[in-house]
Amino acid sequence: MTRKITEPAGQTRRGALRTLAAGAGAAALPLWARYAQAQTSEPIRVGFQVHRTGIGAAYGRWYDRTTQAAAKLINEAGGINGRPLEIVAEDDGTDAKRGAEVVEKLATQLRCDVGFGTLFSHVVIGSAPRAGELKLPYFVVSEGHHVASGMLNRWTLQPGITDVKSQVQAMAPYVSSTLGKKVTMIFPDFAFGHDHRDYFTAALEAQGGQVLEHIAIPPTETSFTRYFPRIPRDTEVIYHVMVGPAVLTFVKELGEFFGPSRPELFGFIDSLEAVSLASPGLEFLDGSYFWEGNPRYAQSDQTSHDAFFREQVGVDENGASVSDPDDVSTYAHMFGCWETLYVIKKGMEIAGYQGPDDRAALIEAVEGIGEMELSDQHPQGAKRFNGKTHQAFGHQYISQVQGGKLIKVHTTSIEDTLYPDEVDYTTQSL
């Protein structure tokens, strides 16, 4: 099935008029002709800072596939402001220092209009200051609270994916009421993990619960058994979120340590992203719970937008590549690349973006976007973009492992994820 991507309601008057004017004849024109009326036929260059190597490589592979699929659709529909979209990819090695160097290269040597795509929080934190110095709009697809906390700058935005603080705030009531109030947390020892530590602890305490132990593990660790004796005996729930190439080892060793008598398990799907639930040794996960940013398995209430997204990216109903069932996607995160590219497109259309002189206008346009409806452009769900904090807020999903699949059992509201503003980036100069 192939169909034209749908526009969400609420687009600008200018965008609506442009669509009506272009729609009559554009579909019949060859691709080159669709760009002919633009002030320039030079491509709009999106600098893709991608984790091709390092601990984020599995994410980088699927972030790339998702980005290329969205860019293809955008170009088939006429590009952005009558110009083709070009993805200019550079590997940052999932390394903070190298990330800043990549931002510099994208802005100066490769003449990119914007930067895009960074996931791991330490790379975002290391790269964003340089983007601000270069006045390069920097659209990250991370989950850390670093953007909304005010740590970064007005040139850095996270409009296509939610942050950890909003996620855990929405999850804590379910964990406390359904699974238990005495929790041990296991998390990676860097900024992303520290966000989980700080914000889930506070959210659980607000529900009358208690975190008994915080166990921080280096993200490059390859064996985990020696950490597990630190789990207190009276733990009712183990909250786990791990990242990197050793995640399968982590969950296997957790199962071997506890055997059949384990506490309840609530994991962020990061602990199993790109890992098949059918992997030997994961049988113990049956009945356990996971947060998912986007349900890996097609659910019984699957929307047409999710089906369209899967088709375009090449993902089957189980969340794996249609060409290789063993190649499991990072489905809970990668939608953020798709949605962020469409936010960039919409912002450029509102701003009438033609080149680097319009970068400030692009930032201001995106700051004013506000509500984003469920659509082909936003297949994960509706979102609310806070222009002051540069952070998107959206629905969160809790799934339970049932018969070797993740079955959605709870969906939060957007209101469940909201918290008071900690910064107003719009007061900063551009």
Q: pLDDT digits over 33-88, tens only?
A: 444 445 678 999 999 999 999 999 999 999 999 999 999 999 999 999 999 999 99
Query: What integer pLDDT is reported at residue 65 of this predicted model?
Result: 98
Question: Which of 154, 201, 204, 151 has the alpha carbon at shortest distance from 181?
Answer: 204
Query: What integer pLDDT is reported at residue 260 of this predicted model?
Result: 85
Are 122 and 199 in a shared domain?
Answer: no
Query: What integer pLDDT is reported at residue 39 of this predicted model?
Result: 63
CATH number at residue 55: 3.40.50.2300
Alpha carbons 257 and 215: distance in angstroms, whole number: 16
Are 294 and 171 in a shared domain?
Answer: yes
Query: What integer pLDDT is reported at residue 14 of this predicted model?
Result: 42
Burial (Cβ within 10 Å: 0-12, 13-18, ≥19) of residue 102: buried
Query: What integer pLDDT is reported at residue 33 of this predicted model?
Result: 47
Query: What integer pLDDT is reported at residue 31 of this predicted model?
Result: 45
Does residue 315 form part of some domain? no
Sign of the four-CA dihedral 338, 344, 348, 351: positive
Does residue 325 form part of some domain? no
Q: Are strands 289-292 and 264-268 parallel, antiparallel or unpaired?
A: parallel
Are 69 and 208 in a shared domain?
Answer: no
Are 353 and 401 in a shared domain?
Answer: no
Domain count, the chain: 2
Are 170 and 157 in a shared domain?
Answer: no
List b or e across 146-162, with b for residues whose CB sees 16 or more CB atoms inside 10 angstroms. Answer: bbbebbbbbbbbbbbbb
What is the domain range of residue 279?
164-301+396-417
Does residue 429 form part of some domain? no
Does residue 320 form part of some domain? no
Query: What integer pLDDT is reported at residue 17 of this predicted model?
Result: 36
Query: What integer pLDDT is reported at residue 41 of this predicted model?
Result: 82
Q: What does the block give as tokens for 245? A: 């190439």
Q: What angle do CA 266, 271, 274 make, to 5 degrees?
A: 130
- Where are the alpha helices (H) located in 244-303, listed in sequence order? 247-258
Q: Which segments of the chain have a pLDDT < 70? A: 1-39
Q: What are phi and psi of 158, to 5 degrees?
A: -130, 75
- Residue 164, SS3? helix
- For residue 256, count other CB atoms closer than 10 A to its CB: 12
Q: What does the block give as tokens for 234? A: 């009276």
Residue 180 DSSP one-character state: -
Question: Which of 160, 151, 254 has the alpha carbon at shortest distance from 195?
Answer: 151
The structure's pTM equals 0.90
Are 400 and 262 in a shared domain?
Answer: yes
* Inter-residue long-range contacts of 8-16, CB under 8 Å, 24+ positions, other chains counted: 8/372, 8/373, 8/374, 8/375, 8/377, 8/378, 9/373, 10/371, 10/372, 10/373, 11/346, 12/349, 12/350, 14/349, 14/350, 14/352, 15/346, 15/349, 15/350
